[in-house]
Amino acid sequence: MQHFLYILHSKSTNTYYTGETHNVKERIS
């Protein structure tokens, strides 16, 4: 199974979060 890269942008903090989809829950929680 491939892990796709993702980029998230938080408008409230104007910060970008990058990582892989299998880490999404860990990174966003």
Can you give the pLDDT at residue 11? 80
Measured distance CA(11)–CA(9) in Å, rounded: 6
Chain length of the chain? 29
CB 25 within 8 A of CB 19: no
Distance CA 20, CA 11 (A): 20
Domain count, the chain: 1
Q: How far is CA 16 from CA 5, 7, 20, 26, in A?
A: 13, 7, 13, 15
pLDDT, position 21: 57
**Could you read off the pLDDT of 1-29 as tens digits, one per residue?**
465 666 777 788 777 766 665 555 555 54
C-alpha–C-alpha distance, residues 25 and 6, integer Å: 12
pLDDT given at position 20: 60
The domain of 25 spans 1-29
